[in-house]
């Protein structure tokens, strides 16, 4: 037993054995149980200290408050491996695909730092307080998850996109078309310069431009997918460039599901047009 361990004096045991043998049989097991319980608690405490999560973030919450009108808002999360072994980040799971968090690498040695950014397109979100999060899943000897949170209050709507994303279930050779409406509410005349899709999984073109007389301008885009899609899920991005200095580019995510893929559980949330979408 180490010097720091609790011991039972030998003289006390001998005296107890000489005068009260039967009592010794009762007391010694109890005393030993108390001693080893204390040692076990101390060991568990030390083990708990050693098993603290390795990744430590400079801040777990970024709150930008109310932001001025702009095309995007950004947040940056910096972390460090404070542990004694390498950390492997398996994935970053955002609450919204629009955040698009990216890591430069996956393995971080003890003492090494890393970072990732999130970005939100304000024309695709609702105004007012918004909260997003990214779950960082990693392994430092055991699986762990750390949540980072991004809060922002988006300004009053000025340019909106509806729906903010579109999905195609392309199960046959036929042609499927969706419409996207971009609305400028600022008494300005946002003018599209070009529109395209990358990669070229869909065709996009401007079908109509309407000045509604109340200071609003509507730009309607026609997005078409032709032919049977490849199995699985594919992603693309509709991009419309404009002459506007605040909104030089309008983007609309596109998801295309092939015949053999599993339908999205929340497809209705993706494809359902919203009345408005706020700027970030």
Give CA–CA dist 192/253, Å, rounded. Answer: 18
SS3 37: helix
One domain, residues 25 and 111: no
Let me know if residue 279 belongs to a domain.
no
One domain, residues 59 and 146: yes
Structural domain count, the chain: 3
**Which of 154, 175, 207 is where one domain is finished?**
154
Taking CA atoms, 35 is separated from 3, 128, 219, 232, in Å, by 14, 60, 79, 62
One domain, residues 202 and 243: yes
Q: List all residues 6 or more positions away from 169 whose beta carbon is below 8 Å from its beta carbon.
A: 176, 257, 263, 267
Give CA–CA dist 71/10, Å, rounded. Answer: 80
Let me know if residue 101 belongs to a domain.
yes
Let me know if residue 118 belongs to a domain.
yes
Give CA–CA dist 208/268, Å, rounded. Answer: 26
Let me know if residue 278 belongs to a domain.
no
SS3 245: coil
Nearest to 235 by CA among 174, 165, 177: 165
Query: Given this model, what pLDDT does residue 214 score?
Result: 77
Q: What is the DSSP letter of 84?
A: S
One domain, residues 174 and 267: yes
Q: Which domain holds residue 76?
A: 55-154
Give CA–CA dist 183/108, Å, rounded. Answer: 45
**Which of 154, 181, 205 is where one domain is finished?**
154
Give CA–CA dist 110/127, Å, rounded. Answer: 41
Return per-residue pLDDT of the chain as tens, 280 residues: 444 444 555 555 555 555 555 554 555 555 555 545 555 555 555 444 557 999 999 999 999 998 877 778 899 999 999 999 999 999 999 998 788 898 989 999 999 999 999 988 877 788 889 999 999 999 999 999 999 999 999 887 688 898 989 999 988 888 999 999 999 988 777 899 999 999 999 999 999 999 987 788 999 999 999 887 888 889 999 999 999 988 899 999 999 988 764 444 443 333 333 333 333 3
One domain, residues 163 and 249: yes
Let me know if residue 277 belongs to a domain.
no
One domain, residues 75 and 140: yes
Let me know if residue 5 belongs to a domain.
no
**Which of 127, 154, 181 is where one domain is finished?**
154
Instruction: Give me 270's structure tokens.
Output: 């993706």
One domain, residues 149 and 197: no
Q: What are phi and psi of 32, to 5 degrees?
A: -65, -40
Query: Given this model, what pLDDT does residue 170 score?
Result: 86
Let me know if residue 280 belongs to a domain.
no
SS3 240: strand
Let me know if residue 176 belongs to a domain.
yes
CATH number assigned to the domain comprising residue 101: 2.60.40.10
């Amino acid at each position: 037993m180490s010097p720091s361990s609790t011991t039972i004096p030998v003289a006390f045991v001998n005296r107890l054995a000489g005068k009260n043998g039967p009592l010794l049989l009762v007391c010694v097991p109890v005393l030993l149980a108390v001693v080893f319980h204390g040692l076990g608690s101390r060991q568990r405490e030390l083990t708990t200290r050693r098993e603290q999560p390795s990744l430590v973030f400079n801040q777990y919450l970024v709150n930008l408050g109310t932001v001025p009108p702009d095309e995007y808002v950004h947040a940056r999360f910096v972390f460090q491996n404070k542990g004694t072994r390498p950390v492997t980040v398996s994935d970053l799971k955002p609450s919204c695909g629009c955040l698009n968090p990216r890591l430069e690498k996956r393995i971080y040695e003890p003492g090494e730092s890393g970072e990732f950014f999130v970005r939100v397109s304000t024309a695709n979100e609702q105004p007012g307080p918004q909260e997003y999060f990214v779950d960082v899943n990693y392994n430092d000897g055991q699986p762990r998850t750390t949540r980072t949170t991004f809060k922002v209050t988006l300004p009053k709507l000025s340019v909106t996109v509806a729906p903010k994303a579109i999905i195609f279930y392309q199960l046959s050779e036929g042609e499927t078309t969706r419409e996207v409406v971009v609305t400028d509410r600022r008494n300005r005349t946002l003018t599209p310069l070009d529109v395209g899709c990358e990669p070229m999984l869909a065709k996009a073109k401007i079908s109509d431009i309407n000045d509604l007389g109340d200071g609003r301008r509507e730009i309607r885009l026609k997005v078409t997918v032709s032919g049977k899609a490849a199995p699985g899920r594919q992603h693309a991005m509709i991009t419309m460039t404009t002459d506007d200095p605040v909104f030089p580019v309008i983007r609309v995510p596109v998801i295309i599901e092939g015949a053999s893929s599993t339908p999205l559980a929340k497809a209705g949330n993706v494809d359902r047009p919203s009345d408005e979408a706020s700027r970030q």
